[in-house]
Structure 1
Amino acid sequence: MEKYIYDNSNGLWYELYGDYYLPCLVIPEEEVHPIGIWDRKHQQYLREYRPMLYNDLVLSGMLYSYLTDIDTQARNKLDLLVTQLAWGKAMNNIRNRAEEIINAELIFA
């Protein structure tokens, strides 16, 4: 029996193991990116609560690009929220200062 055979109907190679031919499946190589805090949190969430999606991403070789996209979105959202909250804080400080001036000059004068 041949060690390897090719099946034209599905385009897969098969390797002989004992008495059986098993498909030669290889997970595609993926470019690995450094993982940050948002990547790790989302990866842990996928492992615990969405295991089918996690396995699909791992087997398709898309996990790291998916996590990198999530990390980029999270960082952009964080920057936007920090800017918006800083603006709100500044406006509250201005309003409080204006009320103090009105109280000091008009109400309690």
Structure 2
Amino acid sequence: MTDKIKETEVLRKHIIGENGISYTLGEDGLYYPDLRLPEGTHYEIGRYGRMRAEYLKEHHRALYLELLLSGEFNEYLHQTDEECYQMMERLVEQMKASEGVTEELKATDQMAWLGAMNSIRNRAEEIIINELIYS
């Protein structure tokens, strides 16, 4: 009789629930669902993509989890990163043209050219961060 009781008390390592999801017995005696994230694409994520990921994690948790669970998070961050770098190039070129920062200035007065370029890059990056990262 005691063998029968011991047999029913032993928990199986893997079970399938009524909902069709498989569960695995944890070390703490509880069953945990065997959930796996879908396979997604893997891209290297740059600075702007990482900034966007942190922003979503802290301020838009629902979108963060939706992208993560759908397997689209890495691709989304890569796309955001690419958009930011492309916009940065366009803005820098437009600002250089409108402010008269040319190769001629670079050849004649390197310090003035460097100061102007640093200012242009900083302003362009501020625009990108406000419009694409923190929106």
TM-score range, shorter chain: 0.5 to 0.7
Match of 1:35 among 45, 49, 53: 45
Match of 1:14 among 15, 22, 26: 22
The percent identity for this pair of structures is 30
In 2, the alpha carbon distance for the partners of 1:40 and 1:21 equals: 34
**What TM-score results when the alignment is normalised by the length of structure 2?**
0.53
In 2, the alpha carbon distance for the partners of 1:15 and 1:49 equals: 32
**What TM-score results when the alignment is normalised by the length of structure 1?**
0.64
Q: Which protein has the larger Cα radius of gyration, Structure 1 or Structure 2?
A: 1
Structure 2 residue runs without a partner (length 5+): 1-11, 102-135
- Deviation for aligned residue 1:14: 2.6
- Residue correspondences, number: 88
In 2, the alpha carbon distance for the partners of 1:55 and 1:16 equals: 23
Q: Which residue of 2 aligns with 1:89?
A: 99
Runs of 4+ deviating beyond 6 Å: none
Query: Equivalent residues in 2 for 1:29-108 (5 A)?
Result: 29-90=39-100
Deviation by residue 1:10-60 (Cα, 9 ceiling, x = unmatched): 7x4433649x97653211122221111110110111011111111111111
- Deviation for aligned residue 1:89: 1.3
Q: Which residue of 2 aligns with 1:94?
A: none
In 2, the alpha carbon distance for the partners of 1:50 and 1:76 equals: 25
Structure 1 residue runs without a partner (length 5+): 92-109
